[in-house]
Amino acid sequence: MGKATGYRIISYGEMVTDRPRIDAYARALQQAIGTGTVVIDIGAGTGIFSLLACQYGATQTHAVEPDEAIEVARTMSGANGCGDRVEFHQTLSTKLTLSRPADVIVSDLRGVLPLFQHHIGAIADARRRLLAPGGVLIPARDRLWVALIEAPKLYRPYAEPWLRNDYGLDLSAGQPLVVNTWRKVNAKAEELLVPPQHWATLDYYSIEQPDVAGELTWTAERTGTAHGLAVWFDAELAEGIGFSNAPGEPELIYGQAFFPLQEPVALSEGDQVSVMLRADLVDDDYVWRWDTRVTAAGDPSHVKAKFRQSTFYGAPISLEKLKRRGDSFVPQPVEAAEIDRFVLSLVDGRTSLGEIASRLVGRYPQRFARQQEALTHVADLIERYAGR
């Protein structure tokens, strides 16, 4: 078993009803599946791609999903007559081994953008270990696009609550944090202030590195106020089959990522804008950085705006917490740690959860009044290590 990702079943349902996305995936699968095809569905969720693969005649489909949602997929497989043609693996793809590589690997491990958690590492690993030579990857590639947008409404949460209120309070301390965060939006085509620029292509047939960096430059073609960057992707699932998340296209589940500017910038025709945008995977999440420089039309020495922004600066963090994570911090023993150490010392591959819980109650009667309480604690702790 692997780690549950926390999507609720209702969210998997929303993914299934995202028609342009599912229609495109269905067409790509249908095109890739022939007699004898073996498919791996990475991140199967409630199994939509596995069921489609089965319907299109795949001999064998491996549905891979760490979340408990896989139980629903299992039931649906029975309900759709897929029986032993879909095999379920409740784990991460990176832990999966198969005796025979697959002809097709299908997945959608993206968030708002494909730069999401360990998506790229998981696909690169699956391509290397689980895909037969000449096999098909769905999606084949994603192209990322960036544009400056004029969107006062989208910008409001970055200014209004922090810079003015009717109570005479100074709330400005929140603003430097919030302008260093991004969020999902649904931008409109008319909000684009400049033509979109291509930022990066993620070619899943060759990609190795999860980090992306690139500079974008524009010459403003009209007057307007730049509030931030919209970032989105176009997916190519197979040749000629895909979908676009561009503002103005039919709305998809992904939307666009909105990166606010530190302050809105009034642009005149001919102004030069350059943005260095980078995304670096750190532990389980991306740290984003967007450095913006705007110079006046015809006068590069006149800098109208210069911002350095990063999600690194977006979360409040106390000095105390920083200290507690520092190299020289000496942690003191606390009872909670002793309890967990005691539980882990009893994990020997022979002792049941119930026995461990009984020993826990015996050792810490003040902390665990009832066996059930101890059992829940032990089960939660053990689950953290399951599948690692």
Ligand X SMILES: C[S@@+](CC[C@H](N)C(=O)[O-])C[C@H]1O[C@@H](n2cnc3c(N)ncnc32)[C@H](O)[C@@H]1O
Q: Does 358 bind ligand X (CB under 6 A)?
A: no
The residue with its CB nearest to ligand X is 43
Q: Does 124 bind ligand X (CB under 6 A)?
A: no
Report residue 167 as tokens: 């109570």
Report residue 140 as tokens: 């084949």
Placement of tokens 């296209």 in the chain: 249
150-209 residues in contact with ligand X (CB under 6 A) are none
Task: Give me the least distance between CB of 50 and ligand X, in Å please.
Answer: 8
Q: Does 116 bind ligand X (CB under 6 A)?
A: no
Q: Rounded to an integer, what distance in angstroms lies between the CA atom of residue 232 and that of residue 254?
A: 8
Q: Does 15 bind ligand X (CB under 6 A)?
A: yes
Task: Give me the least distance between CB of 253 and ligand X, in Å please.
Answer: 9
Q: Rounded to an integer, what distance in angstroms lies between the CA atom of residue 212 and that of residue 276?
A: 11
Q: Which of 29, 39, 52, 122 binds ligand X (CB under 6 A)?
A: 122
Task: Give me the least distance between CB of 15 and ligand X, in Å please.
Answer: 3
Nearer Cβ to ligand X, position 43 or 135? 43
Task: Give me the least distance between CB of 388 and ligand X, in Å please.
Answer: 14
Report residue 250 as tokens: 């039919």
Strands (E), the chain: 38-42, 60-64, 86-89, 102-107, 131-138, 141-149, 183-185, 197-203, 212-219, 224-238, 241-244, 256-267, 272-282, 285-296, 299-310
Q: Which of 24, 28, 40, 44 binds ligand X (CB under 6 A)?
A: 44
Nearer Cβ to ligand X, position 1 or 15? 15
Provide the edge-to-edge strand list for the sheet that holds 102-107: 86-89, 60-64, 38-42, 102-107, 131-138
Q: Rounded to an integer, what distance in angstroms lies between the CA atom of residue 354 and that of residue 382?
A: 12
Nearer Cβ to ligand X, position 286 or 368? 286
Task: Give me the least distance between CB of 292 and ligand X, in Å please.
Answer: 31
49-108 residues in contact with ligand X (CB under 6 A) are 49, 64-67, 92-94, 108
Provide the edge-to-edge strand list for the sheet that holds 212-219: 212-219, 272-282, 285-296, 299-310
* Site for ligand X, rule CB under 6 A: 5, 7, 12, 15-16, 42-45, 48-49, 64-67, 92-94, 108-109, 122
